[in-house]
Structure 1
Amino acid sequence: MTRTPPHDEAAEQAVIGSALLSPRLVAELADLVQPSDFYRPAHVELWQTVVELHASGAPGDPIAVAAHLADLGSLGRLGGAPYLHTLIASVPTSANGPHYAGIVADYARRREVAELGSRLTHLAGSNSDTRDVLAAGRAMLDAAPAPAWPSPMPLTARHTPRPFPVSALPSWLADMVSAVAEFTQTPSDLAGCIALAALSTAAGGRLEVEVRGSWREPANLFTVVVLPPGSRKSAVFTTLIRPLLDAEAKLIERTRPAIIEAELALRVAAKAAERAANAAAAADDRGRDRLIADATAAAMTAEAITVPPLPRLIADDITSEQAASLLAEQGGRLAVLSPEGGIFATLAGRYSGAPNLEVFLKGHAGDMLRVDRRSRPAEHVDRPALTLGLAVQPEVLRDIAQMPGFRGKGLLARILFAVPENTVGRRRIGAEPIPMAVSSAYADRLRAFVLGLADRCEPAVLRLTQEANERVLALEHDIEPRLAPSGGWAHVVDWGSKYVGAIARIAGLLHLAEHLLGGLTSPISAGVLDQAAEIGAYFAEHALSAFDDMGADPLVDDARHVLGWVERSQTERFTKRDLFTALSRGRFRKAADLDPVLNLLVGHGYLRAVPSAERRGAGRSPSPAWLVHPDVLRPAGTVRPISAGRVS
């Protein structure tokens, strides 16, 4: 051919520009167009880079792509950073990206047809027999190479969740979170989530948010950060929790005189009651009734004296029974804060042999908790407020989903998960320590927070301004469709149903952190509600990632199960009948149950449907067949031959 092959350079630019503008579109666009479909070589390499970055979970914005190409030494060859901005400028709207991808894919097919036509034209102009030319043409069509495999997309097509929105915190708290993250070279998510748990500890049991009517949310949170070992979790915990321990020591110092006085009064009253009882026992019939009455009054006086317990804000390795007792002793306030996740195994029954989640379920919801003891009458807490702040390893996250009752009874639905990017291996050595002014401001305010609320018997009730209430209504309208059976949160409907309530709780904590005790008499503003909603959106993204890791989406879980069979069997081609025969009937009861799973795997590039053979003669149609992406059949970073044949 002497003319330029058919192509549309503007459409190619628009596809890449759409992906750079909206990285969330990459999975959808990659299903429509492959790198080899682009005509311009620079576009082939650029699109391959964008797809690979997305598949690895790395950012795909123009700055990240330019930095990656610069590291590879190919940025200048591909047009430099200015050309990336040219690609973005060529996009009228990224929403049309799939349309542009269809244009690019269509021109790629046209070029294939043109190439075949050119080769047939060449044969027709030769001295070959026309029957030979036709046979050669059919052979060319049959032997036309299958489209190249693009890199498969992650099954959930989700990016690495956003970093913690530090700017949504009050300045004194934001400064401390940023300084701790910088000094420890840890993701800001860890310090941010523990800082929220620290606020929850300080306010627990003393603060409620009235959303609307009788809808009230206690201002206590369950936060869990997922990070691998060696991530300096303990250092972050120690730094951010120390002011709470200092405040606990202050409370003990303030309460100790009352404890001593009550213990002394109790001993005196007990001795008096004992003497009165002895006198009544020794009296004759004439004076016994009066002495018995005196002894009874003395015993009741002794019984009425209560020795205050030593104040306790924080527990670490604790059983459900111990947590219930401490909640009763501490007037309903307690926090379980730990850089480890051993508490989950304890709740699952490591010591008792049976899961015991009631204390944590009621401690989050604020429902009345009754505690029975052998040595004393039953005690109860009207409004328990339990705070949970943990940092767990990824293996723990996957384990807790399988623990009895954790999902079914609603414990996981109450947790605000954070799954940040691990910084190990990229940490800066010799980071600046936390400025003294920053740590002092944090410690002073947090201690004032604790001490100022400690003596309250009834929780302070924070209300919303009218504008803030409208923000909550808008959130509810936005979230409700996502909880429908076909919605994006259908597989986490239990968690999503508590989402708006969690934002209200966060708003209450941010309001009081901003105004301290002066905020007890003022309503929560729309601005604070917006800040809480920004933090809530962060937790929503991370919850989807966490539940995905826990296998919360049945379809994705089934797809991974099928991929597991493919990897084990090392089959490069299989039929639906092969697959149904090999897999468990407990998971797939009918062959039709495989259809949505296979469609998902095809859509994400792990499988490719084989054209059905034409049915000849009697009998049933051949079973549909699929080819397997080569990357599925070999571990990452290795090259080895793919075994032929099928496993039935």
Structure 2
Amino acid sequence: MGTPAVADAGPVWDGVPVPLKTDRLLRPFPVEVFPGWLADQVEAVAEATQTPADLAGSVALACLSTAAGGKVLVQVDRSWTESVNLYTVTALPPGSRKSPVFRAMTGPLTDAEEALRETTAEQRVEAELAARIAHARAEDLAKKAERATANPQEALADATAAAKEAAGIVVPELPRLMTDDVTPESCVSLMAAHGGRIAVLSAEGDVFATLTGTRYSAAPNLGVFLKGHAGDKLQVDRKGRESESIDRPALTLGVTTQPGTLQGLAAQPGFRDRGVLARILYSLPVNTVGSRNNEPIPVPEPTETTYCDALRTLVLLLADHDTPHHLDLTPDARQVLLDFQNWIEPRLHPQTGQLAPITDWASKLAGAVVRLAALLHLAHTFTTGYATPITADTLQAAERIGRYYLDHALAVYDLMGQSNPDLDDAREVLDWITKHCDKTGRDTFTQRDLLRAKNGRRGLNTAADLEAPLRLLTDHGYIRLRDNKPGRGRPSIAYDVHPATLQNP
């Protein structure tokens, strides 16, 4: 193991330990890229609730995704088609007024859902009546076929035809756009019943555990989560029930949670290695609690009315599409996208790339930018002709949002200990140090003690494995190398432990 610099002997320590975390400069949410009707609402809700604009901005994107998911696709080139549904997760501590923001931003979706139900009410009544009559006729003909003595084959054919006719009458489901708490199985059923799409929108983070199956099962059910984002065919066969098949599922996720919940996501089986974490657009806003104005300006009524009317109209306009509408990119927009891809690519290099620790997430960023561009395009043009191609300006605006989420993804992966494995190892070693010193009553430990304790722990078995975490703990002021004087045999390298470490383990 490399030998760190020897600290000066003596009882005096310089300063206090620096927290083991990576502080990143996180750019603000670019509200200005939204059209006026949406930007005004986001800013007004942020002011009225005294919450960061990031929260209302991410929920706004989830609302656009709810309107367009499953109804629009982007044809980037001949071999690249991108869905437009998003997964957004915003993390804020308890008491951050997440629920009021959700209500203010998602209210028009409830209104649109009710309007869709009203438009199908007459159709449902007619279908229910037709089904009742057809089933009654089929039952009557079946009884006659059972008693038929003359021409039994003809009676059987009539009964069979009537039964098929009755079975073919489908009563439309009451339209659903969203739910807030759903199991993986129920989520599949909801999508199957509603054109292959549904939105899970919730101000409570535990819906994330429910959706992936981890709340009720030791083995998470990730299929709906993975395929619902990618748009891959979803086929579910269950014992005792008819199978459900969705050719192009479109699941939207708009969730707020607590930072501590995000911290534990990487430890969930399959979440990272199967690509769950890579599909999420994370937001980790600065908490405003403690600096809020208790006399905020309420959301102006014209702002709220304009927003509600616009989002409701967008939902109803796109709801008429039985098959997805395809959007194209202008040549200039394709060039903007290519330039962004060329910017990302070298940063993914496993040895030299700055984004190598989050390659799984960053490799999907170009696709996320395409999805964001489509949603911005629809939000800007749905009243004037959204069938036009996505422009370079819109792609550049989407790239700004993408770079915002890149900053926050790096911060979230730091929080999960995924973007810097050495930092995660240092936290584990620090935990052992505090417990060891508490048990022995001493403020020192040796490398040999640590190796014995970690024997068998994959990744921390040798002195070389411990080099990086011990260096981090030394650099952060938690420990310092003792003046290890030569002695008989091979004395182990010893470290002193900062008193503050033992007082605040």
Contact 1:460-1:520 within 8 A present in 2 as well: no
Aligned pairs (5 A) from 1:274-285: 274-285=139-150
1:193 aligns with 2:58: yes
Structure of higher RCO (CA pairs closer than 8 Å, 6+ residues apart): 2
Q: Deviations over 1:318-369 (max 9, x none)?
A: 1111111000000111001111012233233433553212111111111111
Q: 2:433 aligns with which of 544, 550, 566?
A: 566
Report the Cα distance in structure 1 between the residues aligned to 2:271 and 2:22, rounded to whole angstroms.
26
Aligned pairs (5 A) from 1:511-550: 511-516=377-382, 518-550=384-416
Report the Cα distance in structure 2 between the residues aligned to 1:479 and 1:632, rounded to whole angstroms.
40
Aligned pairs (5 A) from 1:211-250: 211-250=76-115
* One-letter amino acid of the structure 2 residue matched with residue 515 of structure 1: T
Q: Deviations over 1:382-418 (max 9, x none)?
A: 1110001111122322233322222232212111111
Q: 1:600 aligns with which of 465, 472, 477?
A: 472
Aligned pairs (5 A) from 1:73-92: none
Aligned position for 2:206: 342
**314 and 375 in structure 1: CA distance in 2 versus 1, 3 angstrom threshold:** same
Report the Cα distance in structure 2 between the residues aligned to 1:530 and 1:601, rounded to whole angstroms.
41
Larger mean Cα displacement after TM superposition, 564-573 or 494-503: 564-573
**366 and 149 in structure 1: CA distance in 2 versus 1, 3 angstrom threshold:** same
Contact 2:196-2:250 within 8 A present in 1 as well: yes
Q: Deviations over 1:253-297 (max 9, x none)?
A: 001111111111111111222233233333333x33333322222
**209 and 628 in structure 1: CA distance in 2 versus 1, 3 angstrom threshold:** farther
**478 and 269 in structure 1: CA distance in 2 versus 1, 3 angstrom threshold:** same
Identity of aligned pairs, percent?
Answer: 51
Aligned position for 2:422: 555
Contact 1:348-1:403 within 8 A present in 2 as well: no
* One-letter amino acid of the structure 1 residue matched with residue 430 of structure 2: L
Aligned position for 2:169: 305
Report the Cα distance in structure 2 between the residues aligned to 1:629 and 1:223, rounded to whole angstroms.
41
Report the Cα distance in structure 2 between the residues aligned to 1:378 and 1:513, rounded to whole angstroms.
36
Contact 2:52-2:287 within 8 A present in 1 as well: yes
**517 and 365 in structure 1: CA distance in 2 versus 1, 3 angstrom threshold:** farther
Aligned position for 2:125: 260
* One-letter amino acid of the structure 2 residue matched with residue 250 of structure 1: A
Report the Cα distance in structure 1 between the residues aligned to 2:479 and 2:73, rounded to whole angstroms.
52
Report the Cα distance in structure 1 between the residues aligned to 2:129 and 2:217, rounded to whole angstroms.
38
Aligned pairs (5 A) from 1:625-636: 625-629=494-498, 631-635=500-504
Shift of 1:156: 4.8
Report the Cα distance in structure 1 between the residues aligned to 2:8 and 2:189, rounded to whole angstroms.
76
Secondary structure in structure 2 of the residue aligned to 1:317: coil
Aligned position for 2:226: 361
Report the Cα distance in structure 2 between the residues aligned to 1:455 and 1:327, rounded to whole angstroms.
17
Larger mean Cα displacement after TM superposition, 167-176 or 179-188: 167-176
Shift of 1:619: 4.7
Shift of 1:167: 1.5
* One-letter amino acid of the structure 2 residue matched with residue 579 of structure 1: L
Aligned position for 1:504: 370
Report the Cα distance in structure 2 between the residues aligned to 1:330 and 1:596, rounded to whole angstroms.
52
* One-letter amino acid of the structure 1 residue matched with residue 191 of structure 2: L
Shift of 1:607: 4.2
Contact 2:22-2:414 within 8 A present in 1 as well: no
* One-letter amino acid of the structure 2 residue matched with residue 632 of structure 1: T
Aligned position for 2:264: 399
Contact 1:160-1:421 within 8 A present in 2 as well: no
Report the Cα distance in structure 1 between the residues aligned to 2:388 and 2:455, rounded to whole angstroms.
60
Aligned pairs (5 A) from 1:42-121: none
Contact 2:454-2:461 within 8 A present in 1 as well: no
Secondary structure in structure 2 of the residue aligned to 1:401: helix
Report the Cα distance in structure 1 between the residues aligned to 2:48 and 2:236, rounded to whole angstroms.
43
Shift of 1:247: 0.1
1:379 aligns with 2:244: yes
Secondary structure in structure 2 of the residue aligned to 1:217: strand
Q: 1:577 aligns with which of 433, 448, 451?
A: 448
1:590 aligns with 2:455: no
* One-letter amino acid of the structure 2 residue matched with residue 525 of structure 1: T
Shift of 1:153: 4.9
* One-letter amino acid of the structure 1 residue matched with residue 183 of structure 2: T
**610 and 181 in structure 1: CA distance in 2 versus 1, 3 angstrom threshold:** same
Unmatched runs of 5 consecutive residues or more in structure 1: 1-141, 637-648
Report the Cα distance in structure 2 between the residues aligned to 1:146 and 1:470, rounded to whole angstroms.
62
Report the Cα distance in structure 2 between the residues aligned to 1:221 and 1:295, rounded to whole angstroms.
48
Larger mean Cα displacement after TM superposition, 424-433 or 514-523: 514-523
**477 and 446 in structure 1: CA distance in 2 versus 1, 3 angstrom threshold:** same
Report the Cα distance in structure 1 between the residues aligned to 2:156 and 2:8, rounded to whole angstroms.
110
Contact 1:197-1:222 within 8 A present in 2 as well: yes
Shift of 1:194: 0.6
* One-letter amino acid of the structure 2 residue matched with residue 567 of structure 1: T
Contact 1:149-1:629 within 8 A present in 2 as well: no
Report the Cα distance in structure 1 between the residues aligned to 2:389 and 2:368, rounded to whole angstroms.
18
Shift of 1:627: 4.6
Q: 1:174 aligns with which of 39, 51, 60?
A: 39
Question: TM-score, normalized by length of structure 2?
Answer: 0.90
Report the Cα distance in structure 2 between the residues aligned to 1:151 and 1:508, rounded to whole angstroms.
49
* One-letter amino acid of the structure 1 residue matched with residue 258 of structure 2: Q
1:294 aligns with 2:165: no
Secondary structure in structure 2 of the residue aligned to 1:456: coil
* One-letter amino acid of the structure 2 residue matched with residue 586 of structure 1: R
Secondary structure in structure 2 of the residue aligned to 1:149: coil
Shift of 1:176: 0.6
**377 and 578 in structure 1: CA distance in 2 versus 1, 3 angstrom threshold:** closer
Secondary structure in structure 2 of the residue aligned to 1:521: coil
* One-letter amino acid of the structure 2 residue matched with residue 498 of structure 1: K
Shift of 1:601: 3.2
Report the Cα distance in structure 1 between the residues aligned to 2:22 and 2:8, rounded to whole angstroms.
33
Contact 1:511-1:519 within 8 A present in 2 as well: no
Aligned residues: 492
1:163 aligns with 2:28: yes
Q: Deviations over 1:57-83 (max 9, x none)?
A: xxxxxxxxxxxxxxxxxxxxxxxxxxx
Secondary structure in structure 1 of the residue aligned to 2:215: coil
Q: 1:332 aligns with which of 190, 196, 207?
A: 196
Contact 2:63-2:106 within 8 A present in 1 as well: yes
Shift of 1:538: 1.2
Secondary structure in structure 1 of the residue aligned to 2:267: coil
Larger mean Cα displacement after TM superposition, 472-481 or 372-381: 372-381
**397 and 263 in structure 1: CA distance in 2 versus 1, 3 angstrom threshold:** same
**264 and 501 in structure 1: CA distance in 2 versus 1, 3 angstrom threshold:** same
**269 and 534 in structure 1: CA distance in 2 versus 1, 3 angstrom threshold:** same
Secondary structure in structure 1 of the residue aligned to 2:375: helix
1:351 aligns with 2:211: no
Report the Cα distance in structure 2 between the residues aligned to 1:429 and 1:333, rounded to whole angstroms.
40
Q: Deviations over 1:92-118 (max 9, x none)?
A: xxxxxxxxxxxxxxxxxxxxxxxxxxx
Q: 1:437 aligns with which of 288, 302, 305?
A: 302
Contact 2:378-2:386 within 8 A present in 1 as well: yes
* One-letter amino acid of the structure 1 residue matched with residue 370 of structure 2: A
1:422 aligns with 2:287: yes
Aligned position for 2:184: 320
Question: TM-score, normalized by length of structure 1?
Answer: 0.71
Report the Cα distance in structure 2 between the residues aligned to 1:371 and 1:144, rounded to whole angstroms.
67
Report the Cα distance in structure 2 between the residues aligned to 1:609 and 1:566, rounded to whole angstroms.
14
Aligned position for 1:389: 254
* One-letter amino acid of the structure 2 residue matched with residue 179 of structure 1: A
